[in-house]
Amino acid sequence: MRILIAYDGSECANTSIDGLQRAGLPARDVEALVVSVGEVWLPPPSPDELPNDVPVHAPGLKQARERAARIIEVAQRLAESGSERVQRLFAHWKVDHDARNGSPPFEILNCAREWQPELIVVGWHGHTAVGRFVLGSVSQKVLTEASCSVRIGRATAGSGTSGERIIVGVDGSPGALAAVEAVARRQWTQGSELRIVVADDVMRGNPIWLLVPPIKEFVEEVRTEERSQAEHVAIEAVKELRAQLEDKSITLSSVVDSGDPKQILVRHAEEFGADCIFTGATGFSNRFERFVLGSVSAAVAARAHCSVEVVRKQQ
């Protein structure tokens, strides 16, 4: 397994690394690359690139070069520090680091395209002299444009050897199935609890139209059908997860709740004391199956108080 970890030295970046201890990741056979980006948007030109009428040692150019060199040096030190932190937590992983300069989201995505990780890890937010991994800017761009799974790391609810508590948002789509499969492949601590959550985003009608008996009957029929479908999706997801899990002692449960999936997943994660929410990156577009990146997945990643993994199947 290959994991790319974006690191800017902030407390949130450290928290996202520490949270990997409760992510069910393998203890061995993992390659991790810690990447720090020095935010140097327009590096000063080299002497060979200067026009003939511009002195090589012009004061402004010298200061710009020195500043760029300092930023890149800080990025290098941060990347080394981040990789050391990862190595301390995962002694049997192969951990390397890389320092780049430029726009943080573009450089992280470029590195991912070159290195082809299965998972990118970014912090919830943070800002330093070398970069800003802030959801809504860097994290948001990485989340929406990466071609692999992305984990938005936050502090975990549990600690020590206590079992993990994981919410899996399911809507019957291929994306949701990929999330179930990703959870099943992880190596969870004995005593962990995994909960399937299906949000039955029921059809709503105008209260005035609902006074008309035929319309009211139609709406109620649709609601009953969607509820039945949601319960079937939950049952099938639990069966699929149970069939794939190696540790059969892990507790599985499911819940079907009516409402907006963005709110349902976040609320159940809080009530459950979840360490992480897993969702698929894509879903279908009807009323029931709306786990679409840019809406549900992105909103959950922004609002949740725990870590969130948005799962993509690599092509």
Q: The domain that contains 218 carries what CATH number?
A: 3.40.50.620
CA end-to-end distance (rounded Å), the chain: 15
Residue 203 has pLDDT above 60, yes or no: no
Residue 35 exposure: Cα atoms within 13 Å on the Cβ side: 28
pLDDT beyond 60 at 112: yes
Is 87 within the bounds of a domain? yes
Residue 60 in any domain: the answer is yes
pLDDT over 90 at 179, yes or no: yes
Mean pLDDT of 76-82: 95
Residue 120 β-bridge partners: 4, 150
The mean-pLDDT minimum among 90-94, 97-101, 107-111, 208-212 falls in 208-212
Instruction: Indicate if 119 and 72 belong to the same structural domain.
Output: yes
> In this model, does residue 35 exceed pLDDT 80?
yes
What confidence score (pLDDT) does residue 250 get?
93
Using an 8 Å Cβ cutoff, are 149 and 310 in contact? yes
Contact 112, 280 (CB under 8 A): no
Same-domain pairing of 136 and 214: no
Check: CB of residue 27 under 8 Å from CB of residue 69: no
Residue at 159 is within a domain: no
pTM of the entire structure? 0.81
CB 80 within 8 A of CB 52: no
| Calpha distance 69→67 (Å, rounded) | 5
Nearest-angstrom CA–CA distance, 282 and 285: 9
Same domain, 54 and 116: yes
In terms of phi and psi (left: phi > 0; alpha: psi -120 to 50; beta: otherwise), the region of 152 is beta
| CB contact at 8 A, 114 and 82 | no
Contacts of residue 69, defined as CB under 8 A and 6 or more positions apart, other chains included, come to none
Q: Say yes or no: 149 and 169 in one domain.
A: no
Residue 158 lies inside a defined structural domain of this protein: no
As given in the structure block, the two tokens for residue 238 are 């639990």
Residues 46 and 185 in one domain: no
For residue 32, give its domain range.
Answer: 2-153
Final residue of a structural domain among 119, 153, 187: 153
The model's confidence at residue 56, banded by pLDDT at 50, 70 and 90, is very low
Provide the mean pLDDT of the chain: 81
Task: Looking at the structure, tell me whether residues 129 and 212 fall in a common domain.
Answer: no
Last residue in a domain, options 132, 153, 174: 153
Question: Are 274 and 249 contained in the same domain?
Answer: yes
Residue 298 sits in the same domain as residue 175? yes
Any domain includes 160: no
Residue where the block lists tokens 């549900």: 296
Amino acid symbol at 284:
F
In this structure, the answer to whether residues 82 and 49 fall within a common structural domain is yes
**Is 141 found in the same domain as 108?**
yes
Tokens of 137: 């800017």
Indicate the number of domains in the chain: 2
> What share of the chain has pLDDT > 90, as a percent?
48
Is 125 within the bounds of a domain? Answer: yes
Whole-number pLDDT of residue 275: 95
Q: Which residue has the higher pLDDT, 161 or 7?
A: 7
**Boundary residue ending a domain (96, 126, 153):** 153
- Would 27 be classed as within a structural domain? yes
Residues 218, 87 share a domain: no
Among 128-137, 144-153, 163-172, 255-264, the least confident range: 128-137
**Domain identity same for 138 and 83:** yes
Q: What pLDDT does 70 receive?
A: 83
Give pLDDT, residue 260. Answer: 86
- Residue 47 pLDDT > 60, yes or no? no
pLDDT at 111: 96
